[in-house]
Amino acid sequence: MAMMRLRREDPRVVGSFRLHRRLGAGGMGVVYLGSDRRGQRVALKVIRPDLAEDQEFRSRFAREVSAARRIRGGCTARLVAADLEADRPWFATQYVPGPSLHDKIAEEGPLSAADVAAIGAALAEGLVAVHEAGVVHRDLKPSNILLSPKGPRIIDFGIAWATGASTLTHVGTAVGSPGFLAPEQVRGAAVTPATDVFALGATLAYAAMGDSPFGHGSSEVMLYRVVHEEPHLRGVPDALAPLVRACLAKEPEERPSTLQLAMRLKEIAAREAQGLPEGRASAAVRGERSPAASASHAPSSHAP
């Protein structure tokens, strides 16, 4: 998503940050490109005026900030500042230059097996850190992954929740994005790290095919397919298909762990990049990422 000029109704200063451009807008609010007096650039999210008085939305916003504060490592955009008591609550994270995975696929088409595996390994390692903080993202998808020059970054913890929490905010209403939601989210069962593993599997399939493994349709149709139908993985390279299919298992306990995923995806990335036969990749893996895991310095698409 390209940066846009500020609108008349947009603030020019929030906290100690001067705002320069819009980065995006969504259900919770608007994300701006801002900077402090030292020139440090941030992505600053401000809650919508009509939601600022809604306690449910304030609580959801506070959860996002709390999640960002607990997570360690370079997998997410670092929290810089926040004010949850402001008339319009806001928080600022380190600005991540680079397109979203969604935008990269839309502009350039599906990625190679080596590139998908390299990005997937970095994301799986990132999820290890997220889950160690006691957080489940619940809405991992291509538009919530930014491809920075230093590797992919996971953003938008707006509906993140503690491990074991229910996925329903209202009776019968699942929170998340159809096509990337896990079956247990659709059913309203407790979320676990395996919930994010399912979403990562769907995201990797999207990166490899340029399309959702559950096709297209209304939210109801998509949610039905996620629960009752097998994913369509035609177009996913043979090197990745078995692992992606394991991530998309209907039952959470049948999915691999994030640590297992990270190790296996590193092996696949090394083998595919160097043309090594199966079984010899492990010796070549030293944590390096494929060049495609570092994307161009295109405008960031921080999704609110």
Cα–Cα dist 226/178, whole Å: 8
Distances in Å between the alpha carbon of 54 and those of 87, 97, 102?
11, 32, 31
CA angle at residue 278 from 248 to 147, to 5 degrees?
55
Q: Which two tokens stand for residue 17?
A: 């940050």
10 is catalytic: no
The neighbour count for residue 129, using CB atoms within 10 Å, is: 18
- Answer yes or no: are the C-beta atoms of 256 and 267 closer than 8 Å: no
- Answer yes or no: are the C-beta atoms of 188 and 200 closer than 8 Å: no
Cα–Cα dist 128/75, whole Å: 9
Catalytic residue among 54, 87, 115, 139: 139
Tell me which residues are annotated as active site.
139
